Amino acid sequence: MNKKIQIVAISLIIIFLLPFALPFLKNFFSDRGKEGAVAEYVKDSETPTAPAFKKEGELIFLSKDKQQEIKQIAIEIADSDGERQQGLMYRTSMEEAQGMLFIFPILEPQSFWMKNTLISLDLLFVNEEKEIVTIQKYAQPKSESSLPSTKPAKYVVEVNAGFCDRYGIKEGDTVKF
């Protein structure tokens, strides 16, 4: 009879603690072995190293009428769940003519945050016609504040903070890649 009470007690403790353990287990295993994960983990450490910029294409910012080229940059592409989640986290710098292009599977409102992002960025939200519909300028490093698009977007371009001001890029302008 004592063993039955012990088994029931242990089962109740496990059932009670399981909701608290699941988030920990999910975070612990989430990036390990996931194809497309960008961060490399230092052996016996949970601190990821900053991945190097990997040029995967070029993007051109064009005026609203698509007649005038404003600026061309090299882009790294984030088109998988793992790459989009990683983004530019842990990078300590990025050259002026570099950026990251996030490609989402569907057009919908997008929202970013800067947690674990160490450099200030301008975020440009782009619709399926490749028109810039929202710009979030000077996003603060490590901030957990939401940086949403005001209209649905399929693409997001991240560049160094102040980029849009330096080159006069505004909502309504377009991109080509």
3-state secondary structure of 72: strand
Q: Which of 4-13, 51-60, 118-127, 132-141 has the lowest mean pLDDT?
A: 4-13
107, 153 Cβ separation under 8 angstroms: yes
Q: What are phi and psi of 139, to 5 degrees?
A: -60, 130
User: Across the chain, which distance is largest between two alpha carbons, in Å?
Assistant: 85
Convert the pLDDT of each residue in 43-62 to its tens digit: 444 657 778 999 999 999 99
pTM: 0.73
Asked whether residue 41 carries a pLDDT value surpassing 60, the answer given is: no
User: Whole-angstrom Cα distance, residue 42 to residue 46?
Assistant: 7
pLDDT (average), residues 132-149:
98
What's the confidence (pLDDT) of residue 111? 97
Mean pLDDT to the nearest integer, 13-25 = 58
User: 165 by DSSP, 3-state: which?
Assistant: helix
Higher local confidence (pLDDT), 36 or 65: 65
CATH among 2.60.120.1140, 3.30.70.1380, 1.10.240.10, 3.90.600.10 for 53-176: 2.60.120.1140
The contacts of residue 168 (CB under 8 Å, 6+ apart) are 70
Higher pLDDT among residues 5 and 107, named by residue: 107
